[in-house]
Chains A and B, each alone.
Chain A
Amino acid sequence: MKNTFRPETIPGYIPKILQAFPVTIEILFVSLIISLIIGVLVAKFSLSNEKWLKRIAHFYIAFMRGIPTLVLIFLIYLGLPQLALSFGINLSKISKITFIIICLSLGSSANMAEMMRTSYLAVDKGQREAAYSVGMKGFSAFYRIILPQAFTIAIPTLGNNIIILFKETSLAFSISVIDLMGKARAISSASYGANKLEVYIAAGIVFWVICIILENLSKFFEKIYTKSRRKVAI
């Protein structure tokens, strides 16, 4: 075995891998929005007073957090079309990206729901009572008093969840979607795997830089939001 590692070729692979960047961003954004919508519903269920709604929400959160995303992807991508076929529905025209988006939104929605629930509960009870005491009704009390405070509490967790979701988009390669990771695999197999290490290090650097950017963005928003809130409070 000879030393075939040539670090000087790593920078050359980065632009090639970045060609697949729009796909990753598309997956990230669409699944982020869907997971937030599902998360709102599940959080609402788990905060409701109905016992069975609560139970459904808890079961959903436990199930989605307990199952690895990779298993979920295989279950939905390989299993669902087969199951649908037995009911006479043909799912073969749905693109792979759609499947990935479905899986990631389902997996991430549990985290989002937990985040919303905990930050809702973290707002002091007195705030709601104060809102009622000045004559606000249920929705406007929530929208004008509770939500801004809960949102401020949720920002760091939201940033974390977005980073986790972004890292999970790399699992799309497992059903051969050409995202950042899939592109890296394609480049590597185009040269019969001779430059595996260099390509994967390049992919790692790409992910790393984007993660650092996302982290700083989340810190930036946290700063801006808490600053403006403080001004209002004074």
Chain B
Amino acid sequence: MINFQFIITSFPKIIGAIPVTLLMAFVSAIIGWILGLGIALVRKYKIPIISQICAVFVSFMRGVPMVILLYISYYALPIILYNYGTGIGLKIDINLLPAIVYAIITLTLGQAAYASEILRCRYD
């Protein structure tokens, strides 16, 4: 049977996590829309090469489920950062970055893709 008492007692704990969710949503929405505006402008004025790269990026972001994007960014970004760091002679400790950073980066990029499509529609 459902334990209603437990539902009530676990409410405050779940509500306590609202700031984390809202932080991810707001930060990624704001940066995502700014990036999206940039992508939309690039694609509107058809700047060579960058425009094509943006088109592929938008298509990829819209075509791949968020779960897979999160996995890819969580496993790929540390490698990219580390290689970049060793390339310029720095030792970057990736473990310092909390997981939420990867989540925000992924959500931002996803938001940018969707926002650029919305803005592009408005321009035409």
**A residues apposed to B, CB below 8 Å:** 1, 3-5, 82-83, 86, 163, 167-168, 170-171, 173, 181, 184, 196-197, 200-201, 203-204, 207-212, 215
Contact = CB atoms under 8 A, between A and B. Distances in A.
B79 A197 contact: yes
A142 B69 CA distance: 43
Contacts of A5: 76, 79
Interface residues of B, number: 21
Nearest to A198: B75
A63 B82 CA distance: 44
Contacts of A170: 65, 67-68
B67 A197 contact: no
A163 B117 CA distance: 16
Contact of A204 (B2, B62, B72, B78): B72
B65 A181 contact: yes
A3 B60 contact: no
Interface string B59-99: 11011111111011001101100110000000000100000
B20 interface: no
B22 interface: no
B87 to A, nearest CB: 11
Contacts of A210: 63
B1 interface: yes
A200 B68 contact: yes
Contacts of B2: 82-83, 86
Contact of B82 (A3, A86, A171): A3
Contact of A203 (B62, B68, B75): B68
A181 B72 contact: no
A205 to B, nearest CB: 8
Given A173-B67, A181-B65, A204-B68, A1 B75 contact: no
A181 B60 contact: no
B6 to A, nearest CB: 12
Contact of A208 (B1, B63, B67, B75): B63
A196 B63 contact: no
Contacts of B1: 86
A201 B82 CA distance: 19
Contacts of B59: 208, 212
9 contacts: A3-B83, A5-B79, A83-B2, A173-B67, A181-B68, A184-B68, A203-B68, A204-B72, A207-B64
Contact of B63 (A82, A86, A207): A207
Contact of B72 (A1, A82, A171, A201): A201
A170 to B, nearest CB: 4
Nearest to B67: A170
Closest 10 CB pairs of A and B: A211-B63, A170-B65, A208-B63, A167-B65, A197-B75, A86-B1, A200-B71, A204-B64, A204-B68, A196-B75
A200 B75 contact: yes
A173 B71 CA distance: 13
A207 B68 contact: yes
